[in-house]
Amino acid sequence: MGATKRIKTKRRTRDYDQVCADINSSKHLSQYKETKAAEDLPGLGRHYCVECAKWFESDYNLVAHRRGKNHKRRLRLLTEEPHSQKIAEAAIGLGTDNGTRDVQAMDVVESEMIE
């Protein structure tokens, strides 16, 4: 049981919301790249696909990857809005409701408070 969990976390890539943050903010991407040692990365960290969060050995491999099905699939997934806490809360009914208020009901409650 422990070995499979270790393999799953070893091959874990960045999540969609993290990749969207990388695309929108170059500062976020540079902070992530600084955490990795260039000597440990393929191609000494020079060839990186931002959308897929993958490092490649050479520029040829990176160009071939960008023409491939997996990269195009990832681009399609990134067109959706990334996960946020606001969306999660709205899904369970905790979000703000900006609909129209019933003015008559508010007047009735206020008149009862005055009396």
The total of structural domains in the chain comes to: 1
Q: What is the CATH number of the domain that holds 73?
A: 3.30.160
pLDDT, tens digit (0-9, with 9 covering 90-100), for 31-75: 888 888 888 888 888 899 999 989 899 999 999 999 999 999 999
Q: Which domain holds residue 54?
A: 8-84
Strand, coil or helix: 104:
helix
pLDDT, tens digit (0-9, with 9 covering 90-100), for 89-108: 888 887 666 666 665 655 66
48, part of any domain: yes
3, part of any domain: no
Is the model's pTM score more than 0.75?
no
d(CA 76, CA 5): 29
Answer for the pair 95, 86: CB distance below 8 angstroms, yes or no: yes
32, part of any domain: yes
98, part of any domain: no
